[in-house]
Amino acid sequence: MKRIIKRLFDLTIAFSSLLLLLFPMILVMIILKLTGEGEIFYLQKRLGYLNNEFKIIKFATMVKNSPNIGTGSLTLRDDPRVLPFGRFLRKSKINELPQIFNVIIGNMSIVGPRPQMKVDFDKFPPKKRNEIYKSKPGITGIGSIIFRDEEKWISNFNGDKHEFYKNKIAPYKTDVELWYYKNQSIFVDVKLVILTAWVIIFPKSDFLERIFKSLPEKPSYLKIYK
């Protein structure tokens, strides 16, 4: 029954969002076609439900073959691989909107753990990897909100970026996503959808921590990145 309710919630939000955002999405598609490298969508393999791979759909924001250039799967602040219009799309999170189609197809939910590339997922603690994607990955979620400044954290670290991700970010990200798996409900999902919009408008707000007081505490080495 919970799965049916969540699926109905997903489809309701997805189709409603598509109707409301269709014109802005078409406008973005036209701009992307006429600028940068002329690519509109970017399809990439990600890990999803029960660790099965699927192709996530995003608006194209980076140069072609970007995973094989520079820092690879990790995107830095002011990353030179990001195209000019792509910077706006990423900052506003508009680049994530095509994932509405992933929700309609059924390989994503509106709310859930953030789908990772395998190369990054392999940096997560091995003993916990089979737990994270017992829920479908989401367009947004607790991890998406908490790690909205991940690019800044990685950029500000002076050292091996991939080791920093593996040893510092991935363990906490794992704990956060497991928190969602243990506490998920439609009520929690609704609050996370609202909080997603809230933190885009008020990025320095601590509203999340005040709403979800049982969240794993942010490690001290991440608290310095504000």
For residue range 193-202, what is the model confidence (pLDDT) as tens digits? 999 988 888 8
Chain segment 93-120, per-residue pLDDT in tens:
899 999 999 999 999 999 999 999 999 9
- Would the pLDDT of 24 be above 90? yes
State the total domains in the chain: 1
- Would the pLDDT of 30 be above 60? yes
Chain segment 134-173, per-residue pLDDT in tens:
999 999 999 999 888 788 888 888 888 888 888 988 999 9
The confidence score (pLDDT) of residue 79 equals: 79
User: What is the model's pTM?
Assistant: 0.88
The confidence score (pLDDT) of residue 223 equals: 63
The confidence score (pLDDT) of residue 152 equals: 80
Question: Which residue range is the domain that position 121 belongs to?
Answer: 2-223
Average pLDDT over residues 123-134: 92
Average pLDDT over residues 164-188: 92
CA distance 3 to 22: 27
Higher pLDDT pick, 222 / 15:
15
Whether residue 152 contacts residue 225, with contact meaning beta carbons closer than 8 Å, is answered with yes
Whether residue 168 contacts residue 139, with contact meaning beta carbons closer than 8 Å, is answered with no
Whether residue 83 contacts residue 148, with contact meaning beta carbons closer than 8 Å, is answered with no
CA distance 140 to 112: 6
